[in-house]
Amino acid sequence: MSFLEELKRRNVAKVAVLYVIASWLLLQVTDVLSSLLPVPEWAGSFVVMLLMLGFVPALVFSWVYEMTPEGLKREKDVDRSQSVTPDTGRKINVLIIVMLALAIGTVVVDRLIPETAAPVAETAGIDEGAAADQADPSQLAAAKFAPAPDRSIAVLPFVNMSSDPEQEYFSDGLSEELLNLLAKVPELRVSARTSSFSFKGQNLEIPEIAERLQVAHVLEGSVRKSGNQVRITAQLIQANGGYHLWSETYDRNLDDVFVIQDEIAAEVVEQLKVTLLGEAPKTVGTDAEAYALVLQARYLARRSTAETLTQAIALYQEALAIAPNYAAAWAGLGAAYGAQAFGGITPFEEGFRRAREAVDRALEIDPDYAPAHAQLGLIAESVDRDRVAAARHYERALMLSPTDTGIRRDAAAQLRRLGRLDQSIAMLEYVTARDPVDPAAHQNLALAYLWSGRVDDAIASYRTALTLSPGRLSTQYWIGLALLAKGEPEAALDAFAKEESDEEYRVKGNALALHDLGRQADFEEAFAELRERWGERWPSEIAQVYAWTGDPDAAFEWLDKSVARNEDGLNEQFAVLLYKPLHDDPRWEAFRERSGSSEAQLAAVQFEVTLPK
């Protein structure tokens, strides 16, 4: 008898087929259980490995042994005339048919039952006193921007494995650079930095993080830096089940870090089977030492204290001494100068003069550097009061980086200042869907809702911002203001009392609520404190209280002071709801004209933006 005939007689081929089908079914069961039970990420890979290792022993077993009526025996000990292998083969055939039916049924069910929509990120939280059915509308809007499930990814901050914990800036910076590089692929949806980095240091499983961020894949890794040597490990994980799609370790010197970034990005695109419509984005390389200094400067600047901003500026300058044509360093330097000016650390005009010079230098080097255009938009609006220039810069920034949620958030604020509330809300709903744990985005959206009269929606979004960032500056004040607009002064007074981060707003809010509650003596005491302590610096705050409490003459007198000193935020006064009692006064339109925010002046500004498809 030939070898092939002997294989057939001993049912080896049938055992192989049965083993493959049974293994496939077992993997389906493992996949379901891994989504229901807290099993580790490597469990699926472990089962696959066991099944692969067991295949050859199963075939050897079917060759060596035979199942007889007396039990299991070695094949050589069985009398061929008494062999029951034909009966065993028929039983195996039945098992194969049953297994195949189960496999086909599993595939049919998987194809016919529609997938459940991806859950919205868990961001909403309702403070005490909020209605139980008052949901954050940004969560509902997120469904409009749901991504293709297989074309979405979050880049988690890589773990710092260096012996020096101070090297964390490098691992964080490298992660952000990878995120920005992948975000330039228009066919790929990348979770924004604010959301991805919010899970840093949290002991959460990958599927849970992916569910909150509404992405199908996660890129994570580690960085070990020692002198000029780096070891970078990256791994791409499929969120559903935690399967590893790809991993790689790079042992290079620091000069190769840009090549590594390109290689990782290219591998992600390949693994996700993204079909690029254009060329793959590439990292703009520079001197490795300057690059490391810029990463450290960004890390410090994000802390936004007087000390860290000063340290960041020194590091940017050190990097530019090494690489004077490093556009990102110039733009970062400009942003740090601007932060100092906004924070009152340096004189306003001086700080923004330095900021403008640095950003202009960045654009001389790289005219297509989107963050620099966005910074010029902010300077044009906040410092120059030039809405036309601001719109032009934001349009350019969005054209260059259409998926950058930070730029879109700032552009949405510009739309709000132009009175184009529907466009601003649509833009911010897109941003909160893409960056669901960014409290600034939710707070901006809440203000747009409030200006448009959607008071309940505004309160819900403000509370979401508070959930994400407890104690966030001024947020309780804005909740109180919205409650005041609803005619609920008791609830408003309670909200104002919780405003611990902004004393001026707490005093102002208390005055407004006390007035509406009819507590005149208490109102006058609080209002006197507001005028005495903050009236000279912020005359518009006093004007708002006079307007709301029914003294239009005093309100316009203080608005004149605001115009005379060119108060910061003057261009947004037209939309403040506390001025509503003044809207029928002929002096109101004159004020809007003087402050550059009349209907005609706002409509004349060309600012066309669209949402990414």
What is this structure's pTM?
0.68
Q: What is the pLDDT of residue 77?
A: 65
Supply the pLDDT for residue 131: 41
Residue 530 near residue 542 (C-beta atoms within 8 A): yes
pLDDT 10s digits, 513-530: 999 999 999 999 999 999
Looking at residue 369, its pLDDT comes to 93
Residue whose tokens read 């707070």? 443
CA dihedral 6, 7, 11, 16 (to 10 degrees): 180
Distance CA(554)–CA(544), nearest Å, equals: 10
CA 139 to each of CA 154, 400, 433, 457, 574: distance values in angstroms, whole numbers, following the listed order: 19, 28, 7, 11, 29
**pLDDT score of 272:** 74
Please give the Cα distance from 577 to 455 (Å, whole number): 11
Burial class (CB in 10 A: 0-12, 13-18, 19+), 130: middle
Query: 373, 411, 384: which is closest to 608 by C-alpha?
Result: 411
Distance CA 119, CA 213 (A): 9
* Higher-pLDDT residue of 469, 483: 483
Cα–Cα–Cα angle for 306, 308, 311, rounded to 5 degrees: 110
DSSP string, 169-185: HHHHHHHHHHHHHHHT-
Write the pLDDT tens digit of every residue in 267-286.
877 777 665 445 666 677 78
- Across 382-389, average pLDDT: 90
- The answer, yes or no, to whether residue 34 has pLDDT greater than 60, is no
First vs last Cα of the chain: how many Å apart? 67
**What pLDDT is stored for residue 81 in this prediction?**
61
Q: Average pLDDT over the chain, rounded to whole?
A: 83
Classified as helix, coil or strand, 435 is: coil
| 3-state DSSP assignment of residue 297 | helix
The CA distance from 71 to 60, in Å, is 18
- In this prediction, residues 582-600 reach a mean pLDDT of 95
The pLDDT of 129-156, averaged and rounded, is: 62
Q: What is the Cα–Cα distance from 232 to 224, expressed in whole angstroms? A: 7
The confidence score (pLDDT) of residue 407 equals 92
| Domain 145-274 superfamily per CATH | TolB, N-terminal domain (3.40.50.10070)
Q: What's the full length of the chain, in residues?
A: 613
Checking DSSP bridges between strand 217-226 and strand 159-160, what pairing results, if any?
Answer: parallel
> Could you tell me which of 224, 271, 277 has the C-alpha nearest to residue 243?
271
Q: What pLDDT is recorded for position 392? A: 96
CA 90 – CA 511 distance, rounded (Å): 90
> Angle CA(485)–CA(502)–CA(543) in degrees, nearest 5?
50
With cut-offs at 50, 70 and 90, classify the pLDDT of residue 543: very high
Residue with tokens 């610096």, as numbered in its chain: 537
HSE-CB at 258 with a 13 A cutoff on CA atoms is 13
> Mind giving me the DSSP string for 476-526?
HHHHHHHHHHTT-HHHHHHHHHT--S-HHHHHHHHHHHHHHTT-HHHHHHH
pLDDT of 136: 66
Query: Quick count: other Cβ atoms within 10 Å of Cβ 163?
Result: 9
Q: The tokens of 72 are what?
A: 């299991």
- SS3 state at 549: coil
Stronger pLDDT, 63 or 475, i.e. the higher one: 475
Given pLDDT bands bounded at 50, 70 and 90, which one contains residue 542?
very high
Assign 376 a pLDDT band (cuts: 50, 70, 90). Answer: very high
Distance, CA of 542 to CA of 538 (rounded, Å)? 7
Pairwise CA distance, residues 412 & 441, whole Å? 10
CB 192 within 8 A of CB 154: no
pLDDT digits (tens, 9 = 90+) for 428-445: 998 988 888 888 899 999
Pairing of strands 71-74, 65-68: antiparallel
Task: Tell me where in the chain the CATH 3.40.50.10070 domain(s) lie.
Answer: 145-274
